[in-house]
Amino acid sequence: MKPIMFAHLTDTHVNVPGKTPLFSIDGGAKLRAAFADIGKLSDKPAFVVISGDLTQDGDVEDYKFLRQLIEEEQAKLGVPVYVALGNHDSRPFFREGYLNEEPSEESYHYSFTHQGLRVVMLNTQIPGKHDGRLDEEQLAWLRNELEIPAPAGTVVVLHHPVVSTPSDLMDSHLLENPEDLGQVIAGTDVIGLLSGHIHFNSIGLFHNIPSAAGTGVAFGLDPTSNDSMKFIDNSGYNLVLVKNGQMIVTPMAMPGENKVVYEFTLEQMKEAIANH
């Protein structure tokens, strides 16, 4: 079977122009730069997936702007773009602003197939929280989806990672119920998992299946900072190759200053949680 390459982006944190962006970083400009970089590759990817935190504030106008931006970049690149939701996203406002549907809290999950490769886009977002979880409805849907193997296998895309990180602090930002997912995908045709949320590249094995979290398009985090979150002005994406029944991930770093733009300490986090 012919190899399939696609691009995995995550954590774009886009705001509609006119808002004061987080850390004064223009997520929309960063996303356009990532698409431009992908467009310069010698071999164009078959499609693009974005694994959540599409917007920073999750407003209707943010999603309308993001939809316009993605439509423009998709047309230039000439390949489809598929999106999933993260903890910064709002299900009702996403449906209204991006999908042009009636707003609802209904989970946004689906699958698509490209040349025999099935890609499953899950929604691990818990409305109103930074944590992530797969609900029983999605797990049952996924179990049913995987009953029939895809010719080139299945890649699962979810916002919250399932593999431990170098930082105890960031380990608290993983999927809350990874073993529920593990039970569903055991013995199926799943060849890899892709995620985001932690804003740095983190690649490991989950039940002997490759799992790769990507760095953020909008900004990164220092993976070695154990008592604080150090936000870094950098950007990147992953190229994902499905070949000979395997998923191979190549991190692609974008040029930038890599300066620390903000540091959120553990004490500040505890205070914020107590006040909330």
Determine phi and psi for 93, rounding to 5 degrees.
Answer: -70, -30
Average pLDDT of the chain?
93
Burial class (CB in 10 A: 0-12, 13-18, 19+), 204: middle
H-run or E-run covering 261? strand 260-265
As to burial, measured by CB atoms within 10 angstroms (0-12 exposed, 13-18 middle, 19+ buried), residue 78 is exposed
Report DSSP state, residue 151: T
Higher pLDDT, 76 or 274: 76
Rounded to an integer, the average pLDDT of 129-134 is 88
DSSP one-letter code for 103: -
Residue 237's DSSP bridge partners are 252
Q: What is the mean pLDDT of residues 48-58?
A: 96
pLDDT for 138: 97
Compute the average pLDDT of residues 99-120: 97
The length of the chain is 276
Residue 73: what residue type? E
Q: Give me the amino acid identity at 218.
A: A
Q: Pick the more confident residue, 154 or 129.
A: 154
Q: Are 82 and 49 in contact (CB under 8 A)?
A: yes
Q: Write down the pLDDT at residue 259.
A: 85
From the number of C-beta atoms within 10 Å of its C-beta (0-12, 13-18, 19+), residue 254 rates as middle
For the ranges 76-85, 170-179, 220-229, 259-268, the lowest mean pLDDT is seen at: 259-268
Stretch 121-141: mean pLDDT: 91
For the segment 24-46, what is each residue's pLDDT rounded down to a tens digit?
889 999 999 999 999 999 999 99
Rg of the chain on CA atoms, in Å:
18
Q: Quick one: what percent of the chain has pLDDT higher than 90? A: 80
